[in-house]
Structure 1
Amino acid sequence: MVQADRFFIPCPIKYLTGIDCPGCGFQRSVLALLKGNLQDSFLLYPPTIPLILTFSIALPVHYYYKGNSDKLIKILYLFTGTIILINYGYKLFNGHLH
């Protein structure tokens, strides 16, 4: 077990059902990204980079442009949400549940 694994928050959905939730793998993916391992990060949870980019763009834009950024933020959330759903569907239908 990697030292950082002890600090990960366990998934309550996986704990109760034994099935990965749509966000399972995110923490390990971020850790791999912080270590500079882009390939491992992507393999662990493909939506990590779009999620980080979405929040990195949406939060400052919302803060600085107030209500004038609603359309951009909705598009970013829709794009990222779609990637999350596609990834989750792929995991469910291809038996990649851990």
Structure 2
Amino acid sequence: MQRFNLMVHAEDYMLPCLSKQFLGFDCPGCGLQRSVMFLLQGDFVAAFKMYPAIYAILLLFGFLLADRLVSLRHSNKITIFLMLASLALILGNYILKFI
């Protein structure tokens, strides 16, 4: 029960989207904070639906951390692939919002 209360209070401190407030439309990062909140609550499907690039971004950051701790083979190629996958998912989701 204490964990749930922490999540409710964390939602009160989320940053607003300035693009949405001032320009009236979502930015490519809209939904990322809420997606992380869904992940912390254990709702993995809702996290993906909110922001499809969340898992690619987490894989990228996890791989970068692992590469810093242990030298991995082909790390440049894997990093570039994960960056491109993240970018494709972010842009694809952003374009689908307007369709």
Q: TM-score range by the shorter chain?
A: 0.7 to 0.9
For 2:17 and 2:77, how far apart are their aligned partners in 1? 32
- Deviation at 1:52? 0.9
**Counterpart amino acid of 1:22?**
P
- Give the residue type in structure 1 aligned to 2:38: A
Report the TM-score when normalising by structure 2. 0.79
Percent of aligned pairs sharing the same letter: 37
Q: Is 2:86 the partner of 1:85?
A: no
State the distance in 1 between where 2:98 and 2:64 align: 29
1:60 corresponding residue in structure 2: 66
Taking only aligned residues, the RMSD between alpha carbons, in angstroms, comes to 1.8
Q: CA deviation at 1:44?
A: 1.2
Match of 2:5 in 1: none
Point out the more displaced range, 50-59 or 25-34.
50-59
Q: State the Cα deviation string for residues 19-38 of structure 1 (Å, max 9, x = none).
A: 10011001011101110111
The structure-2 alpha-carbon separation of the partners of 1:4 and 1:65, relative to structure 1 and needing over 3 Å to count, comes to same
Contact 1:62 1:69 in 2 (8 A): no
Unaligned runs of at least 5 residues, structure 1: 94-98
The alignment's TM-score, normalised by the length of structure 1, stands at 0.80
Matched AA of 2:36: V
Task: Judge which range, 51-60 or 30-39, deviates more.
Answer: 51-60
Following TM superposition, the consecutive aligned residue runs of length 4 or more in structure 1 with deviations greater than 3 angstroms are: none
Q: Is residue 48 of structure 1 aligned with residue 45 of structure 2?
A: no
Check the 8 A contact 1:14/1:20 in 2, yes or no.
yes
Q: What's the counterpart of residue 19 of structure 1?
A: 25
Q: What is the count of residue pairs matched by the alignment?
A: 91
